[in-house]
Structure 1
Amino acid sequence: MLAGLIFAQDEAEDRPDRLIATLPFAGATLIEHHARQLVNAGAAQIIVVANQLPPDLLGALSRVARLGVAVDTVRSAGEAAAKLHPLSRVLMLADGLVATDKMVAALAKEGGDALLVVTGDGTGDLERLGGNMAWAGIARLQAQRVVEVAALPRDYNMQSALVRVAEQAGALHLVLPEGSERAGHGLARGELALGIRGRQMLSALFAGRRNWIDRWIFAPAGCLALPPLVDRGIAATAVAGGTVILAVIAAALLLRGFGGAGTMLAMVATVFASVGVALGMLRGERRVARWLRMGVTAVPLVSTLLLGWSLWGERGHEGSIVAAVFLAILTLLGERAMTQPRDTWWGSPPAYLLVILPTALLGLAELGIGAASLYAAATLALAIEDLREQP
């Protein structure tokens, strides 16, 4: 069984009245963000080490309990050891840590003691391990390590002692990947530093995207919309609800013959869904993010089919619905054939809808569907050729 160990002891440097763990982060509090990451990594129990239980921490813990895991608060290693199953793996997150889901999941795997470490001179406030190495804030421990720390004198720092005991037991060192600190990984000792880390994480969500519609449409929309959504604590489920409403209105417009307006609204719904995917990943709402990711594909496909159907009923051109169905088939085959990230100019369902949009606004949607079909055919051919070249 995997158990999560979170620390809520240190006060914020720029907010002496607040614990770092209760500072706002990713639309909630830092401790809620930690809890979501641990639950997504497979934790069935969360133990919170706290010297005091102020109202804001109690409120955060009550919200953590809604994630469906057992939540226990302790003051010492002895109390923590009493709560743990002897065969548990303990995934420990440092007080004030900002980490990516990927790094938390990497340490949550089966195995013995392991410490995430960083090398170099610029380790700052990180726990030094000797030489040119420091602890990077995540540790996988055997439950026995907590028992060993419980036997130490009471004037120890529990977090530091656990790291030291694991190091003395020969814990495996996993080096923090290059670029993780630019993506926000590190310790934050105050509200200002936590805000900076949060903005770095937001930027990292869109970094490295090569495909043109991701880079020029979805990334700018996300960078514009995510900060106010996060600041106001808007959940990804709310964005998903907005996406559904927009998609339904778009479908109604398309079926009523308003091709231009319906296609435009369908594109807006697709952008909404892409923003929701990023928000869901940031807030740890992975299930919602998965559904929204499906929506980024489904909304353009269904909208194109409805547009073709509407044109067929309105003008009697069978070619419109045939072309729309052909485009849908090419799109699905192309998505199936892709085994790696898209190259810059490869197509995607939102890209095909964006090709159709200007022609739909001009009343020439048949031309747009035809052009999008050629684009989808070229993308499928490139994807198949790329697949053949793989060993």
Structure 2
Amino acid sequence: MRIAILTALAEDPDHKGRKRAFRIFAGRSILSHQLDCAIDLGCESVVCLVGGLGQDVIACQHRAEAAGVRFQAIEDLRRLSGLVKADDDIFVIADGLLPAAEEAVRLLNERSGVLTLPVDPALGFGFERIDGQCAWAGMLRTRGQSVERLSDLPPDAAAASALLRIALQAGTRQTALDPALLLNGDWLLRADSPTLLEREKRWIAGRVSPVSFAAPGLATAERIGARLGRDIVGTRLERVPLFAAVGAGVLAALLATIGKPLVALALGTAMAVLLPIAGVIQRLGRAPRNRTRRFGVDAALRAGADLLLVALIALTMPVEGSAWLRLFVPTILFGLLRLGEQLALDSEPRGSFASWRALYADRILLLALVLPAAFFGLAQLLCAVLSLLVLGSLFFRDEEERGLTVD
């Protein structure tokens, strides 16, 4: 079994009375991000040494349980020996460390090791010296038998440092980290607030990757979601944008049934704005093992929103003519847009066509055009014209790809 040992005991020197592990990063505590790293490493159980059960610890427990991981908070170092077996794999993360999770997983996932950094400049960043040349980078992997020796130590001994010494005495190999991670602020232990804020911006940008402004509506909404996520991820407000989007959609459907199609379409536009904002916030807040599982929910929400928008647009069209024709035109438009998204995804990274994918997905821009047209009774004509434009762009893709395959 893989077990992670975390610690939340060290005081934050910048904020008296607060633990270093409970500093907020991207809406959640550093301890919560350490938990994510442990989950990425395949840990089935997490043991955290704490001074008491507070809200941050309880939030970590709920997050672990949502990912199918057992979380135990203990106050006595001696309890560790009863929770770990000799043949377990132990991952230790230093108190308050904010690592680059991808690099940690790459270096520790396959075999045991003690991650190290050069003494200069690591000591200046608060890392613990190992010898004359190396400092401990704050993470290691060792065998569970090392934990048995902790029972000989006093209850207030530093578990992480003790396990480091035991691992080194047992001959655990040392693995050097790239010092650039430290110098670039991607591997932090005792960071000041400006440094932590810069790391937070880079982390969010890497996690969200907002689309380009070739799709202005979607790009703006995703950047709003990224900024809002810094404030509400990990709080009770985290799901408010999602609930607001669903609520706007339900209200739009109700208004459409009582003969208010234009007002309903306006609410559908609000739903289209809120959905990408909520999607970004949900991506920032998901536990590692839930990230792929929730993509099915995201796809279902998008599909449901598109079906609703097709119906709302059809209801704003003139009553004259066949009812099926009113539904047919927006259905063709949305079908071509979805086909364009999929074809552009399949073509990546070949050709400039791949960069059009976000434009096909930009429902905000689409509704910004359709809503005024619907007000003047021109929604059917506009949808027909847009369908021809999208269809023409798909033929352009075929020409481009044929050109790329010519010898």
**What TM-score do you get using the length of structure 1 for normalisation?**
0.75
Cα RMSD for the two superposed structures: 4.3
Partner of 2:21: 21
Q: 1:166 and 1:382 mapped to 2: Cα distance? A: 57
> Shift of residue 7 of structure 1?
1.1
Retained in 2: the 8 A contact 1:346–1:379? no
Closer, same or farther in 2 for the Cα pair 1:313/1:367, shift >3 Å? closer
Match of 1:257 among 242, 258, 261: 261
Partner of 1:306: 311
Partner of 2:368: 358
Alignment of 1:23-38 (within 5 A): 23-38=23-38
> Shift of residue 5 of structure 1?
0.5
For structure 2, the 5+ residue unaligned runs are: none
Retained in 2: the 8 A contact 1:246–1:265? yes
> Shift of residue 224 of structure 1?
3.6
In percent, how many aligned pairs have the same letter? Answer: 18
Aligned-partner SS, 1:240: helix
> Shift of residue 118 of structure 1?
4.2
Q: 1:139 and 1:125 mapped to 2: Cα distance? A: 17
- Tell me which amino acid in the other structure corresponds to 2:228: A
> Shift of residue 137 of structure 1?
2.6
Closer, same or farther in 2 for the Cα pair 1:370/1:142, shift >3 Å? farther
Partner of 1:247: 249
Q: Does 1:217 align with 2:220?
A: yes
Retained in 2: the 8 A contact 1:6–1:93? yes
Retained in 1: the 8 A contact 2:89–2:143? yes
Retained in 2: the 8 A contact 1:260–1:362? no
Match of 1:270 among 270, 275, 279: 275
Partner of 1:142: 143
Alignment of 1:1-391 (within 5 A): 1-39=1-39, 41-50=41-50, 53-54=51-52, 57-66=53-62, 67-68=64-65, 69-76=70-77, 78-103=78-103, 105-106=105-106, 109=109, 111-118=110-117, 121-123=120-122, 124-130=125-131, 133-148=134-149, 157-167=158-168, 169-171=171-173, 173=175, 175-176=177-178, 182=184, 184-188=186-190, 193=192, 196-197=195-196, 200-207=199-206, 209=210, 211-212=212-213, 213=215, 216-230=219-233, 233-234=235-236, 236-252=238-254, 256-258=260-262, 261-281=266-286, 286=291, 290=295, 293-294=298-299, 297-298=302-303, 301-307=306-312, 309-310=314-315, 314=319, 316=321, 317-318=325-326, 320-331=329-340, 333-334=342-343, 337=346, 345-348=355-358, 351-363=361-373, 364-365=378-379, 366-368=381-383, 370-371=385-386, 374-375=389-390, 378=393, 382=397, 385=401
Closer, same or farther in 2 for the Cα pair 1:157/1:7, shift >3 Å? same
Q: 1:260 and 1:36 mapped to 2: Cα distance? A: 40
CA deviation string 1:209-254 (max 9, x = no partner): 5633489414431344223324x82354443322322333345566
Report how many aligned residue pairs link the two structures.
Answer: 378
Q: 1:253 and 1:183 mapped to 2: Cα distance? A: 51
> Shift of residue 97 of structure 1?
1.4
> Shift of residue 6 of structure 1?
0.5
Retained in 1: the 8 A contact 2:97–2:138? yes
CA deviation string 1:119-173 (max 9, x = no partner): 5843221234456654333322221233355567989643223234434524352
**What TM-score do you get using the length of structure 2 for normalisation?**
0.73
Aligned-partner SS, 1:97: coil
Q: 1:276 and 1:148 mapped to 2: Cα distance? A: 43
- Tell me which amino acid in the other structure corresponds to 1:114: G
Closer, same or farther in 2 for the Cα pair 1:99/1:74, shift >3 Å? same
Closer, same or farther in 2 for the Cα pair 1:357/1:196, shift >3 Å? same
Closer, same or farther in 2 for the Cα pair 1:162/1:48, shift >3 Å? same
- Tell me which amino acid in the other structure corresponds to 2:14: D
Retained in 2: the 8 A contact 1:323–1:373? no
Closer, same or farther in 2 for the Cα pair 1:23/1:120, shift >3 Å? closer
Q: 1:293 and 1:195 mapped to 2: Cα distance? A: 34
Retained in 2: the 8 A contact 1:240–1:292? no
